[in-house]
Chains A and B, each alone.
Chain A
Amino acid sequence: MEKKRIYMDYAATTPIKKEVVDAMMPYLTEHFGNPSSVHGFGRDVKKVIDESRDKIAKAVNAKPEEIFFTGGGSESDNMAIKGIAFAYKDKGNHIITSKIEHHAVLHTCEYLEKNHGFEVTYLDVDKDGIISLEELRAAIKDNTVLITIMQANNEIGTVQPVKEIAQIASEKGVFFHTDAVQALGNIEIDVKDLGVDLMSFTAHKIYGPKGIGALYMRKGIKLHPLIHGGSQERKKRAGTENVAGIVAFAKAVELATKDVAGHAKEQSQLRDHLIDSVLSRIPYARLNGHRQKRLPGNANFCFEFIEGEAILLSLDLLGVAASSGSACTSGSLDPSHVLMALGLPHEIAHGSLRLTIGDMTTKEDIDFVVDNLEKIVVRLRELSPLYDKFVREESQHV
């Protein structure tokens, strides 16, 4: 019998949808022109780039000229943060971010700190992974030039109060960038209503291909380009356009934003079933991130007395793909910076597991995962000297 394979790592990446592949295929084969070329081959694909830009802009209520194509989410984050920092360095050299940002944001901020004389404030989050608006307000200084706080966290799925952050930034005359890589397709995004200045997107989290993303930048903002060369993307990002990727991205956005509310409702039900099942059946398990203010498809747990990589590998041997913020998984020595920022002790943060739900996930899949997860946790706890010690101490108290 063929082994069951269940993918529950959609926050890492998603499979490309058939409609998306169908849309991009002609631009890998017959429509191969360089969009910068004057001839008909070039003009054909230039037109489709413009159409794609229109579709993406429309999906997030932006103007087409406010959408810049990039090589993915990390590049969009780099482009926004360094682009603003370098373009407005005369205005100030202070940046505010949070401790739970993606490394594309954190490492970019650290780079500016170490190499370009910027000062960065890293805001704490509460135990549920949410920043404090009061702390944000208090952190803004005269020389603050940019606030960069993600819309939704990639590990624990926590959704930040982006509209309120944008309001504060606007009042203080500070640019606000948000990494919406995990949010697009999961939360309604209206850049005008939210009031953000810059927003990062990527295609491979919404059933599009890897290597294509976009940055929304409100009209009128200056941006120092990271890549110099040709005049593509209105001189903000040189390089021959990834035409097939752009077409695919537009199709993926179109599909992902068709019914965000309906999609979110469906996935939240599955997610809640997963969370409720795990917490009711597995003792000493905890949910990381806010119970309600979280992405529809994200569930992140810690299992006390055991270690995350061992859980992850045990699931993988059963054909279940998940993720862990365990130090052992990343090859680093400390558990995920996100879990640490929640205030979890090291020994609990080491026992983390992220299960993310997507379009292929069924209730049966979740039940299979929980049934096996329960057995895995029992097995690993039987091996654990920490659990043994805990049980002995508990029995003495009875």
Chain B
Amino acid sequence: MYNEKVIEYFVHPRNAGVLVDADGIGEAGSPACGDEMKVYLKIENDVIVDVKFQTYGCASAIASSSMATEMIKGKTIQEALSVTNKDVINALGGLPAPKIHCSVLAEQTIKRAILDYAKKHNITIEGIDSKILEDDVHDHGHDEE
């Protein structure tokens, strides 16, 4: 089902962990849906100097978040914002169709972390606004009580 690269990133995820002094934190997904991601950013002079993630979910969710964080490390905020879920899928060498949503979740988590950074520092970043917090790509329509 998964290619070797996805397995590699699942077994040996890069950037796993927590940044205690993060400048921006993003969360997406929900435990009820079976996957939740959290991304921590350390930003200096508009550049993401460090990034960590935590993921509750399947192999694809863990690999997607790990790859996405690797892709934005060392990049400027604008460069990071341009990383899409398709880029994550390509970098992983492909994901099975039912697992595409994991890459979308990774993209969204990063955007939320950048938005959190913008809010905390009271700055405006082009191409990102609070709408990202409203769009829950992971709303599976569970009948939750």
Contact = CB atoms under 8 A, between A and B. Distances in A.
Main secondary structure of the interface of B (DSSP, over half): mixed
A386 B142 contact: no
Contact of A310 (B10, B31, B37, B98): B10
A398 interface: no
A333 B142 contact: yes
Interface stretch (A267-275, A276-284, A343-351): A343-351
Contacts of B31: 346-347, 350, 386
Contacts of A305: 56
Contacts of A1: none
A286 to B, nearest CB: 16
Chain A contact-residue range equals 20 to 34
Nearest to B101: A333
Given A310-B57, A310-B62, A317-B7, A385 B27 contact: yes
Contact of B142 (A314, A346, A382, A383): A346
Contact of B16 (A328, A345, A350, A382): A382
B35 interface: yes
Interface string A339-371: 000000111001000000000000000000000
Chain B contact-residue range equals 20 to 34
Contacts of A317: 7, 11
B84 interface: no
Contacts of B55: 383-385
Contacts of A385: 27, 36-38, 54-56
A388 interface: yes
B56 A307 contact: yes
B144 interface: yes
Main secondary structure of the interface of A (DSSP, over half): helix
A346 B16 contact: no
Contact of B58 (A328, A334, A346, A386): A328
B58 A388 contact: no
B94 interface: no
Interface string B15-31: 01010000000010001
Nearest to B7: A317
B33 interface: yes
A333 B140 contact: yes
A326 interface: yes
Contact of A346 (B34, B54, B141): B34
A15 B99 CA distance: 31
Which has the most chain B C-beta neighbours within 10 Å: A314, A328, A333, A350?
A328
A327 B27 contact: no
A81 B81 CA distance: 56
Given A384-B54, A388-B54, A346 B33 contact: yes
Interface of B: 2, 7, 10-11, 13, 16, 18, 27, 31-38, 54-62, 98-99, 140-142, 144
23 contacts: A305-B56, A306-B56, A307-B35, A307-B58, A310-B10, A310-B57, A327-B34, A328-B99, A333-B142, A334-B140, A346-B33, A346-B34, A346-B142, A346-B144, A383-B62, A384-B55, A385-B27, A385-B54, A385-B55, A386-B31, A386-B36, A388-B18, A388-B54
Interface of A: 305-307, 309-310, 313-314, 317, 326-328, 331, 333-335, 345-347, 350, 382-388
In the complex, the 7 A-B pairs of residues with the closest C-beta atoms, listed nearest first: A347-B31, A385-B54, A346-B32, A328-B58, A309-B58, A350-B34, A385-B38
Given A328-B34, A385-B27, 8 more contacts: A306-B56, A307-B61, A310-B57, A350-B31, A383-B13, A383-B55, A383-B62, A386-B36
